[in-house]
Structure 1
């Protein structure tokens, strides 16, 4: 069974979107800097080579123009997605950021953690140090602009780091860790919005990125700082008692948890090396986050805001920049709800990693790399007699291909209820056009992330069964809850490819597969549901890995339905078996799909005493499987071991091939 991983998708849009209140406005008051924005706004209005022209403005002699340009580029990063970020990187945005800026922003790195200073291209930190150390004397407007400029630059770097490996390596070469950790160490004296954007940047940079991860792990003060933030739920002392501040502080704590999990395990002598990070830090903070939110209640509040004021919350016309800081209560309410929902999404993303507890399969060091011996044996097996010696055949019972063992996730009982609640769509989850697009986007992302958590949890449980396996009602309840949610999502044949609806279907079938594997033969099948899974499998005919993964999960879920032992389920069994047999025809599907179909058919008819035996004989399943041996042999030999995952797939294919041969021999030996 495949391993589900944590997802990086949709992090840009937007687990922590920087609120519109932080659109940059220059160093001087708006009344005196409005003429400076004229150097930036026409670029956006004209729309031709916007990115290149804005990057050019980062070296403008006027500091206010630099600030305006950085803010516009930051907005393009967040709302433009990967293509815009790739364009920025290709047009060398890092060069002006790396180069010394005008006098006001030409600053040396300030490192309050005692490591001295390094040169940093965009050099913001010493001015920040002035404001940290002299917060009562520094001009308030100047502080605000420097904080916002820093936030914009950091957000650009965070977005660039997700664009490509080349961009990530370039960002790594900037030596950002001391710079970013300086913000976190001084978090109590800096705006939460700026500190949170720093944490988001670090969360991205520490995700499977050894240069940054190794640098932080090697510094005990960095690790202690992150641990303090996580334990304090973001900040040690939130004096401003307002919902927005509390939500942002909570987001900071969640990000700290995510960073720590990205960095784990920690080597001694760090004190955190002996801490059970998931049990003692992450789950106590994140489970209440996902348990306390009611998506239907938040949807109702949004509906109320829309009806009361109907602001144009989705429209961002650049001609309105710069705009006033004043926001209506409705706009602030929208902002708080989105921030709350994005915090839930972020918590789910981290919990998806917690749930992904499957061990990597161990490769047999004694396996024959070329597979020539096995293929020769198989050639001999293909020529086997129709009436083999019974004593030999009975010794060749099929082997289970899954031999992984691990501890059953004890956190499943804690997470199950909130996850089953969060997968259920609301009236705004997929509404187009939406009265508030950020809420709709966040809701869809939450549903996907909750499904990913469930998928990882049950796929993990499927290979490490424990006491929970005996609780059949749990499996049936999860199966039913998933189908209720999918009914609201819509028919998979009608959803737009790449949409949130389509992504939910792709992830949800993994939950069905995992549940069906944990409780095989215990899920009562319905023909309508089986045909929906068949339709989804047929719809994913592409050659890419994502389509293959969806097909495999669909087949696994169908296999679970076909194993139901009640005689009343024979019609559904017949439909599923007929479909699986069609996948054994060469050219009808990919190698991995065919291997999964073979495994499923063996599982379905593993017990010749089951009621489904009649379908086995009537459908000539034995002859179909025997005829597929040669196709499987050729498909396995055609697997390229040099491709990523090729060696593992070849090993798995050889196991399936051997099981198929043993199953056919065993069945023929029965002489039924």
Structure 2
């Protein structure tokens, strides 16, 4: 059982802000599903025209058209809008360049990796490389004497900086090729200059710079070494965490995001060498947990969902593209109050998602929880009442008992609240979300919270069993309640449901491991795990999680029927009569190992199933097939799996010999 790994491609806080997987592939499908097909050709024509006002209008129109509209975004992409906008980055008119950059930024945020890859392949970095030094010089001039530039000019420069940095941040997560090219730009001093001037310039470009730094320092030594080498950079990041607003001032959500990002960057670059004060700090314990625990604990998803629905009901309609006057060109930030509030809600959700992603790494090595104070007792009554927690579970019947989980790390309680779906989190396939960005953010928070729980319980499993089994049962029931609310609907646009089940299976395995044999198996739970394992789309990792969980359930001493059902299922995964395992090599090895662990104690109450079912002979008949499967594992390409296979093969042979030697 290893900790949950988050690949670079999964670290993106917002890979596709408005999901489009439910839309059929192809340009023809995009034309059929888009209601704005008629507006595309005029935009392309005007963007390539001779009138700079029309070119500017066309760039702004792209941003307006793609807003929450993935089919039109795909249609524009099919018409080479990316290439057309990149061409406009070298336009002779400054305002056209600004609007083109803004449109490209919005395409990055809304479209995800495919569009980012297309931008890289069409050489967007060529103009961006010229923008960075110019912006650095202009920023220095503003900071030296802001009176020499009008407020409107400064606003324009800061917005342009925000857009350029955001595109660089998105490109950094697209591919290793893009990251290597961006490393060559030596961006760290440029980005740190925004953080250093955070009190004198707008928060938007500062946050964008922090986002870009966070991505660049994610397992990327060139950026990490640059920050480590300059003590002022580390001091600046620490200063961001020390800054707090006066109690009478409202907290700008973006300042919270900035602190989360600063925490993440410090964690990415740790350990920090002397003479920095941070060199003696435990970054996880002294920085990340104190900063991020309140961020995840303070969010009510029910309140966020309710507020979003209220905004959606009163949201003003977007102006039709044909009614946009060339004389009164719409601004890129032309939004209604409802749209602004929806963006604020989404921003807060994304900040919590980011905090959870950072905490996922921390959760693999969480310190032991503090023991209860003298006189406090833990309730080990399985049927004890669960306390309601602010009504923050609109799709669950009961909130987890805070008293029951006090023996677990403090993060567990807020994480359990964050996995519970709201009415906006997982809309059915037949009824698309009324606001896809909010739905995408909510579902991403749920998955990220499960990732944290997964690592917490895998960490606890490595340490052994927990002291309070009732606490584990609370989490077990909470996860099953959540998965039941999520449902197993499949199809385009339902990928997040699948993610919940796949990550949830890991949490269940961890909880079952630390609570075995005290989790009583329920038939519907057992069948759900088997169904997930048997799903043709399930990969080997998911199947191993399901098998591991079933193994733990089978070791409940009072559930002989469940033990037999699980054992028969695991036996069906082993090679039989010369045929290979239907589940694949890695799940097969886990099934064999699980059967050994389940029946390692011949004195257990459920060992009668082993004897009556003739499991010894059935296991013996599979041994040659297991050996053949292990020999087929490529030692060079899959070294760890081959080592694991040889271990299971030898253990299985020894187990069969041991069971044959017993006399009953």
Evaluate the alpha carbon distance shift between residue 248 and residue 55 of structure 1 in structure 2; reply closer, same or farther with a 3 A threshold.
same
Maintained 8 Å contact 2:90/2:97: yes
1:512 to 485, 508, 511: 508
| Aligned residue in 1 for 2:370 | none
Distance 1:614 1:459 in 2: 31
Bigger RCO (CA 8 Å, 6+ sep): 1
Q: 1:356 offset after TM fit, Å?
A: 2.4
Distance 1:335 1:497 in 2: 22
Q: 1:43 offset after TM fit, Å?
A: 7.7
2:289 to 283, 290, 307: 283
Distance 1:500 1:226 in 2: 34
Q: 1:311 offset after TM fit, Å?
A: 3.1
Distance 2:355 2:425 in 1: 19
| Aligned residue in 1 for 2:416 | 420
Comparing 581-590 with 204-213, which one deviates more in the overlay?
A: 581-590
TM-score, normalised on structure 2?
A: 0.81
Tell me if 1:73 matches 2:104. Answer: yes
Maintained 8 Å contact 1:130/1:138: no
| Aligned residue in 2 for 1:614 | 608
| Aligned residue in 1 for 2:651 | 659
Evaluate the alpha carbon distance shift between residue 319 and residue 618 of structure 1 in structure 2; reply closer, same or farther with a 3 A threshold.
farther
Maintained 8 Å contact 2:172/2:215: yes
Maintained 8 Å contact 1:479/1:512: yes
Matched position secondary structure for 2:308: helix
Distance 1:5 1:314 in 2: 44
Distance 2:552 2:522 in 1: 12
Evaluate the alpha carbon distance shift between residue 298 and residue 498 of structure 1 in structure 2; reply closer, same or farther with a 3 A threshold.
closer
Tell me if 1:54 matches 2:85. Answer: yes
Q: Map 1:179-578 onto structure 2 (within 5 A).
A: 179-232=190-243, 241-242=249-250, 246-307=252-313, 309-312=314-317, 322-323=330-331, 325=333, 327-357=335-365, 412-431=408-427, 432-465=431-464, 469-491=466-488, 494=490, 499-540=495-536, 547-566=539-558, 569-578=559-568
Maintained 8 Å contact 2:17/2:437: no
Maintained 8 Å contact 1:162/1:168: yes
| Aligned residue in 1 for 2:70 | none
Structure 1: runs of 5+ lacking an equivalent: 19-31, 102-119, 359-409
Distance 1:282 1:507 in 2: 23
Q: 1:354 offset after TM fit, Å?
A: 0.5
| Aligned residue in 2 for 1:367 | none
Evaluate the alpha carbon distance shift between residue 237 and residue 131 of structure 1 in structure 2; reply closer, same or farther with a 3 A threshold.
farther
Distance 1:253 1:231 in 2: 9
Two-structure CA RMSD over aligned residues (Å): 2.9
1:634 to 628, 636, 643: 628
Maintained 8 Å contact 1:148/1:194: yes
Instruction: Count residues with an aligned counterpart.
Output: 572
Q: 1:317 offset after TM fit, Å?
A: 10
Matched position secondary structure for 1:40: helix
Distance 2:361 2:474 in 1: 24
TM-score, normalised on structure 1?
A: 0.80
Maintained 8 Å contact 1:425/1:489: yes
Evaluate the alpha carbon distance shift between residue 285 and residue 411 of structure 1 in structure 2; reply closer, same or farther with a 3 A threshold.
farther
Structure 2: runs of 5+ lacking an equivalent: 19-50, 66-74, 367-405
Distance 1:429 1:42 in 2: 30
Maintained 8 Å contact 1:15/1:345: no
Maintained 8 Å contact 2:191/2:209: yes
Matched position secondary structure for 1:611: coil
Maintained 8 Å contact 1:41/1:318: no
Evaluate the alpha carbon distance shift between residue 140 and residue 498 of structure 1 in structure 2; reply closer, same or farther with a 3 A threshold.
same
Evaluate the alpha carbon distance shift between residue 658 and residue 304 of structure 1 in structure 2; reply closer, same or farther with a 3 A threshold.
same
Q: 1:327 offset after TM fit, Å?
A: 4.5
| Aligned residue in 2 for 1:37 | 56
Q: 1:541 offset after TM fit, Å?
A: 5.0
Query: 1:162-200: per-residue Cα shift (whole Å, max 9, x none)?
Result: 111111101111111111111111111111011000000
Maintained 8 Å contact 1:230/1:253: yes
| Aligned residue in 2 for 1:151 | 162
Distance 1:93 1:507 in 2: 36
Q: 1:316 offset after TM fit, Å?
A: 10
Evaluate the alpha carbon distance shift between residue 16 and residue 89 of structure 1 in structure 2; reply closer, same or farther with a 3 A threshold.
closer
Maintained 8 Å contact 2:15/2:112: no
Maintained 8 Å contact 1:12/1:81: no
| Aligned residue in 2 for 1:407 | none
Distance 2:12 2:544 in 1: 29
